[in-house]
Amino acid sequence: MALSQRLEVRQSQALVMTPQLMQAIKLLQLSSLDLAAYVEGELERNPLLERTGEDEAGSAGDTQASASESDDNSGGADWINAELETSRSSIEQGLGTELENVFPDDGGDKNATAGDFRPGAYSEWSGAGSVGGENYNLEAFVSAETTLADHLAEQMALTISNPAGRMIGQYLIDMVDEAGYLTGDLDTVAEKLGAQRSDVELVLAVLQTFDPPGVCARSLTECLVIQLKDRNRYDPAMQVLVEHLDLVAKRDLAGLRRLCGVTEEDLADMIAEIRMLNPKPGLTFGSTMVQPIVPDVFVRPAPDGTWQVELNSDTLPKVLINQRYYAKVSGTTRDEKEKAYLADCLQTATWLVRALDQRAKTILKVSSEIVRQQDGFFAKGVQYLRPLNLKVVADAISMHESTVSRVTANKYMATSRGIFELKYFFTSAISAADGGEAHSAEAVRHRIRQLIDNESTVNVLSDDTIVEKLRDAGIDIARRTVAKYREAMRIPSSVQRRREKQATGA
């Protein structure tokens, strides 16, 4: 057959990942903190976007119209024009700008029952407890927390008067970590500062006398030695005990008595003194601020015995489109580049508004289905947690598994039993011994912990014994699985637990 060139027309279908679709997928899996940072960046780049305030929110009727139009597929331009006609403020009169509400309250029944749960629209808890208006900042009255470095620097200013010694001391203080330990090598410090190692050691010896006792130590042993010397309890027997902390961890009491040359009663007192020391003295001072977990969803019992699921409105970025500003600028713009820029800003702003609204609705939908699937956990506890995977939830709400996976990433749910990550409710299944309903892996781990917590000194349960008890309870599990779960929960073996219980007399 001869080769030739010709034109053909073909029709085909392909999934194209547009930049906006990729950004929407990215928004779906962001945590509340990452989402807030992303929205802040968009607010700086896009002049049509503004952050909403309590005084800028529209009426219930306006927001209901915004909600219905945001779900319409007719396009963003008609949506903007419709909202412009209903604006009630005027820039010329200096009354502020009318903004479109991203997260409207459609005035519907927030407590509509679906299955055995009742998803609410959005939480109303955010407005409770406000004092002195929205600009009232209680943090302005909180004094700055003293850090460990500041505390050591204050003591050094009163102890070391030599300028060279202060320079070395400040350099060493900067090398102290949050736990109070000195990181780095003294030879390297001496080389960088152009000082003698003996001078660095002298300054370090002074720093190790500072409060809190044990600070600036280079190892756990040195930290304990400093604290024992501060208590005047560092005798030869205690020195041997501190040098053999590995035997203390192994509960080798016979070997410790032989090395220290003390009686069993004296050894027990020495170990008790070691336990009273602080292995991380620096943690008593202020350090890096720990960000608390902010739940994305609230689950609380309803009066009729079901569960009400609500989004945490504090974690939802409230971003609005400045419609008046867009109408004014677009009417006076004549340059084609400016018109193109303004149209791009409007398209980006409209997409962001809808993406944020869709993200909130998707989180609520997935969370509501999780509550419906795991109603036994919310009512009776972790032992009633059921096996659950992404496919079950995805099929129930007609979504793809990847979407459910992104929604449950970095999202937290506040319940009457605590705050849990959404992925916590997805656990593997362990078959039942009698062929009945499978058990959740998390529920099995809970049973193992309960069995170990209730064991006595004379009856420490081995992994084989735990397997037998679980099979008697209808759980078919292997010994290696029990050992894996026990190690994951940081529970020592039966031999170690027996030694600890005998040493403490529990």
Give the confidence band of 286 by pLDDT, cuts at 50, 70, 90.
Answer: low
Q: Which of 129-133, 274-278, 434-438 has the highest mean pLDDT?
A: 274-278
Q: How far apart are CA 75 and CA 66, in angstroms?
A: 13
- Are 175 and 193 spatial neighbours (Cβ–Cβ below 8 Å)? no
The whole-number pLDDT of residue 26 equals 85
Give yes or no: residues 401 and 339 share one domain. Answer: no
Domain-terminating residue out of 407, 425, 443: 425
Is 273 inside a domain boundary?
yes
Mean pLDDT of the chain: 79
Query: In the Cβ-directed half-sphere of 446, how many Cα atoms lie within 13 Å?
Result: 13
Q: pLDDT tens digits, residue range 465-497?
A: 999 988 888 888 888 999 999 998 989 888 888
Q: How far apart are the first and last CA of the chain?
A: 91
The whole-number pLDDT of residue 504 equals 64
Residue 168's CB is within 10 A of a number of other CB atoms, namely: 25
Q: What mean pLDDT is predicted for residues 201-223?
A: 92
The whole-number pLDDT of residue 54 equals 40
Count of domains in the chain?
Answer: 4
Is 121 inside a domain boundary?
no
Give yes or no: residues 417 and 437 share one domain. Answer: no
The whole-number pLDDT of residue 136 equals 55
The whole-number pLDDT of residue 362 equals 93
Q: What mean pLDDT is predicted for residues 221-244?
A: 91
Is 124 inside a domain boundary?
no
Give yes or no: residues 355 and 421 share one domain. Answer: no
3-state secondary structure of 319: strand
Is 50 inside a domain boundary?
yes
Query: In the Cβ-directed half-sphere of 428, how many Cα atoms lie within 13 Å?
Result: 6
Give the confidence band of 435 by pLDDT, cuts at 50, 70, 90.
Answer: low
Give the confidence band of 299 by pLDDT, cuts at 50, 70, 90.
Answer: very high
- Of 84, 136, 126, 91, give the one whose Cα is nearest residue 105: 126
Give the confidence band of 140 by pLDDT, cuts at 50, 70, 90.
Answer: low
In Å, how far are 114, 306, 334 from 118, measured between CA atoms?
6, 7, 52
Q: What mean pLDDT is predicted for residues 289-299?
A: 81
Is 126 inside a domain boundary?
no
Is 6 inside a domain boundary?
no
Q: pLDDT tens digits, residue range 328-365?
A: 888 887 888 888 888 899 988 998 998 999 999 999 99
The whole-number pLDDT of residue 203 equals 93
Looking at the DSSP bridge assignments, the partners of residue 182 are 176
Strand-pair category, 49-51 with 117-119: unpaired
Looking at the DSSP bridge assignments, the partners of residue 273 are none
Give yes or no: residues 176 and 276 share one domain. Answer: yes
- Are 461 and 451 spatial neighbours (Cβ–Cβ below 8 Å)? yes
Give yes or no: residues 338 and 384 share one domain. Answer: no
Q: Of 79-83, 323-327, 434-438, where does mean pLDDT reach its minimum?
A: 79-83
Both tokens of 115, joined, read 């299955």
Q: What is the phi/psi pair of residue 112, to 5°?
A: -65, 130
Structural domain boundaries, residue 49: 19-110+310-360
Q: Of 12-16, 26-30, 56-60, where does mean pLDDT reach its minimum?
A: 56-60
Give the confidence band of 289 by pLDDT, cuts at 50, 70, 90.
Answer: low
Give yes or no: residues 255 and 348 share one domain. Answer: no
The whole-number pLDDT of residue 246 equals 87
Tell the residue number behind the tokens 């997805």, with chain if given: 426
CB contact set of 392 (below 8 Å; sequence gap of 6+): 373
The whole-number pLDDT of residue 254 equals 85
**CA 282 from centroid of its chain's CA atoms:** 24
- Are 169 and 203 spatial neighbours (Cβ–Cβ below 8 Å)? yes
Residue 485's CB is within 10 A of a number of other CB atoms, namely: 21
Q: What mean pLDDT is predicted for residues 379-393?
A: 88
Looking at this protein, which amino acid is placed at residue 268? A
Is 497 inside a domain boundary?
yes
Is 130 inside a domain boundary?
no
Give yes or no: residues 274 and 190 share one domain. Answer: yes
Residue 129 has pLDDT above 60, yes or no: no
The whole-number pLDDT of residue 135 equals 57
Residue 307 has pLDDT above 70, yes or no: yes
Give the confidence band of 393 by pLDDT, cuts at 50, 70, 90.
Answer: very high
Residue 77 has pLDDT above 60, yes or no: no
Residue 367 has pLDDT above 90, yes or no: yes
